[in-house]
Amino acid sequence: MNERKVLIVDDEFAIRDMLRMALEIADFRCLEAENIHDAYTLIVDERPDIVLLDWMLPGGSGLELLRRLKRNDTTRELPVIMLTAKSAEDNVIQGLDVGADDYITKPFAPRELIARIKALLRRTSGGDEQERLQVSELVLEGESRRVFLGEDPLDMGPTEFNLLQFFMSHPERAYTRSQLLDHVWGANVYVEERTVDVHIRRLRKALQSPAHDYSDLIQTVRGTGYRFSSRGAGNR
Amino acid sequence: MNERKVLIVDDEFAIRDMLRMALEIADFRCLEAENIHDAYTLIVDERPDIVLLDWMLPGGSGLELLRRLKRNDTTRELPVIMLTAKSAEDNVIQGLDVGADDYITKPFAPRELIARIKALLRRTSGGDEQERLQVSELVLEGESRRVFLGEDPLDMGPTEFNLLQFFMSHPERAYTRSQLLDHVWGANVYVEERTVDVHIRRLRKALQSPAHDYSDLIQTVRGTGYRFSSRGAGNR
DNA sequence: CCGCTTTGTCACACTGTTGTCACAAAAACC
DNA sequence: GGTTTTTGTGACAACAGTGTGACAAAGCGG
């Protein structure tokens, strides 16, 4: 379900070819770059989840790219695996110093590479802090993925949870259905815009318990979309 | 103050010599073993912080020791770096599968080895106390590796125990299957994610006795994974 | 060498979730 | 009031996610 993007930075076609094949079998999506400049552009545009970086590259060594990545705050968390020839294992030390997370010497067994990629992704992906959001009695716990109304846990589906989480992190602001689809469903998913309405309804229903009714936190902004607000609606 | 013990397991005197020199410069204390038996004894007696394990050893291959270590619950967390000849890199895959945390091919630059040791120690330095965990009638004794429901001991496999121990030390929080694999199985083990489901089921089953049923402490978080919680689920 | 346990994987059953539709209700516009 | 546009609602079939029993391989203890 969670497709991972791997950026391959290597100037040898044969290597890229081999890597692409191995990675696609293991269900990764591949991006490729032959030089540092392309690599950097791709990183900024496509935001890959991991980078396989060859050491010797035209237009600057891999070390240079590595330094640049680790200096830039927006890409700091991007894990990097270095590819290096056996004869140049000294470079490894430099690389690990600068911030590569792992390395592998060419030639290598595809299975090993895959294993290392997966291990690295698991190791580095757990860093996201989940917050605890609260509006009066309504509490959303990101960590446990639960919502409480006072003491009682509320029952809702995953999509409704994501929707509520988004709303509670961006309150007092109207979003179009299209924007909600982008943020909650993901940018490259195509579903009907009216689907949002249905999930809004399900969320509203979930925000009602025998005791309380918080369903009007989700307000309709006619002609535009929806808004989450703890203050009154103030339209119509 | 925090002196680290490194156990070198290799039958070549020259290698041990070189390693010892490099490690002592880097302020580690060295233990040495020439064969598996000595190695195991030293591990039990001296409790080193990390093991450098040669692949080819008299009296059984390094793989064997590795298996033994990773099976034994008291030494499971001991980080292991494999030493292997370049000609035998295939072994690396086996080794990583069984639970080695890293590997390095001979000959290697001492500086690289030191870098890797430090990196590994940084990663795994969580010193885990063996504690006694309790949720209402359910008691987990880390020391004796037993679980009680009131007075009655519960019967479960090692993996189920580890899983429960992890859950009870991190309650009220949803984990993905991948995260559970990472924490309970180990970062470098590659098994199917659905395997987690099966062990969850076995654990749930183990949490039921004729008298009580604590199986709903393990809650399914649909679309995400599982959560251990003494409060209600909030989903189906 | 042989039972016994543990483990990872699979196929299948089952359940909740999802996106879409048709229609009702409401609001806006004339 | 009548018409058009927009949103709410219940139903539903397809689907993805999860529970479950069985099984073979591997480890363990004799």
Measuring CA to CA, how many Å separate A104 from each of A157, B108, B217? Answer: 42, 14, 42
Domain covering A132-228 in this structure, CATH number:
1.10.10.10
B159 CA to C7 C1' in angstroms comes to 9
What confidence tens digit (pLDDT) does each residue in A108-148 have? 666 667 767 766 666 565 445 567 888 888 999 988 999 99
DSSP state of A12: -
Note the ipTM here: 0.61
A155 nearest nucleotide via C1' and CA: C16
Residue A24 pLDDT class (50, 70, 90 cuts): confident
What confidence tens digit (pLDDT) does each residue in B147-161 have? 988 888 888 988 899
CB–CB contact B174 A108 (8 Å):
no
The chain A residue lying nearest B95, using CA atoms, is A112
User: Which residue(s) pair with B134 in the sheet?
Assistant: B139
Pairing verdict, β B80-85 and B102-106:
parallel
CB–CB contact A154 B234 (8 Å):
yes
Please give the interface size between A and B, counted as residue pairs whose CB atoms are below 8 Å apart: 85
How far is A219 from A172, CA to CA, in rounded Å?
A: 10
Q: How far does the CA of residue A144 sit from the closest CA of chain B (Å)?
A: 4
Question: Residue B113: which of B32, B52, B29, B35 has the closest Cα?
Answer: B52
Residue B69 pLDDT class (50, 70, 90 cuts): confident
What confidence tens digit (pLDDT) does each residue in B161-216 have? 999 999 998 888 999 998 898 788 876 667 888 999 999 999 999 998 877 888 88
Instruction: Report residues 156-185 of B contacting strand C, contact meaning Cβ closer than 7 Å.
Output: 157-160, 185
How far is B5 from B20, CA to CA, in rounded Å?
A: 11
B146 CA to C4 C1' in angstroms comes to 21
DSSP state of B101: -
* Closest residue to C15 (CA, C1′): B236
How far is B162 from B165, CA to CA, in rounded Å?
A: 5
Phi, psi angles (nearest 5°) of residue B70: -75, -20
Q: Is the Cβ–Cβ distance between B123 and B112 less than 8 Å?
A: no
B94 CA to D22 C1' in angstroms comes to 28
pLDDT for B236 beyond 50: no
What confidence tens digit (pLDDT) does each residue in A153-177 have? 899 999 999 999 999 988 889 999 9
| pLDDT for the residue numbered B164 | 94
Cβ contact A194 with chain C strand, < 7 A: yes
Token pair, residue B88, equals 């035998």
Cβ contact A185 with chain C strand, < 7 A: yes
pLDDT for B48 beyond 50: yes
User: Which residue(s) pair with B175 in the sheet?
Assistant: B226
For the segment(s) B4-124, the CATH number from 3.30.1490.20, 3.30.70.260, 3.40.50.2300, 3.40.225.10 is: 3.40.50.2300
| pLDDT for the residue numbered B89 | 56
The chain A residue lying nearest B178, using CA atoms, is A122
Pairing verdict, β B225-228 and B218-221:
antiparallel
A195 nearest nucleotide via C1' and CA: C19
How far is B139 from B164, CA to CA, in rounded Å?
A: 11
Residues of chain A whose beta carbon is less than 8 angstroms from a beta carbon of chain B are 86, 89-90, 92-93, 96-97, 105, 108-109, 111-112, 115-116, 118-119, 122-123, 125-126, 141, 143-148, 152-158
Cβ contact A77 with chain C strand, < 7 A: no
pLDDT for B94 beyond 70: no
Q: Do domains A4-127 and A132-228 have the same CATH topology?
A: no
| pLDDT for the residue numbered A34 | 86
Mutate to test the interface with A, among B111, B117, B235, B236 (most CBs of A within 10 A): B235
Residue A87 pLDDT class (50, 70, 90 cuts): low
Residue B60 pLDDT class (50, 70, 90 cuts): low
For the segment(s) A4-127, the CATH number from 3.40.50.11540, 1.10.287.130, 3.40.50.300, 3.40.50.2300 is: 3.40.50.2300
Q: What is the mean pLDDT of chain A?
A: 79
pLDDT for A200 beyond 90: yes
The chain A residue lying nearest B177, using CA atoms, is A122
Mutate to test the interface with A, among B84, B184, B194, B231 (most CBs of A within 10 A): B231
| pLDDT for the residue numbered B225 | 95
| pLDDT for the residue numbered B39 | 80
How far is A76 from A79, CA to CA, in rounded Å?
A: 8
Instruction: List the single residue in B92, B173, B182 with the smallest CB-CB distance to A143.
Output: B173
pLDDT for A205 beyond 80: yes
**Domain map (residue ranges) of chain A:** 4-127, 132-228
* Chain C bases near protein Cβ (<7 Å): 5-11, 15-22, 27-28
Q: Is the Cβ–Cβ distance between B217 and B138 less than 8 Å?
A: yes
pLDDT for B25 beyond 50: yes
Q: Is the Cβ–Cβ distance between A92 and A106 less than 8 Å?
A: no
B201 CA to D12 C1' in angstroms comes to 32
What phi-psi label fits residue B176: left (phi over 0), alpha (psi between -120 and 50 degrees) or beta? Answer: beta
Residue B222 pLDDT class (50, 70, 90 cuts): very high
Share of chain A above pLDDT 90, in %: 25
* Axis crossing angle, helix A90-98 with helix B110-124, rounded to the nearest 10: 30
Cβ contact B199 with chain C strand, < 7 A: yes
pLDDT mean over B112-132: 66
Q: Is the Cβ–Cβ distance between B116 and B102 less than 8 Å?
A: yes
Q: How far does the CA of residue A217 sit from the closest CA of chain B (Å)?
A: 20
| pLDDT for the residue numbered A57 | 73
Residue B28 pLDDT class (50, 70, 90 cuts): confident
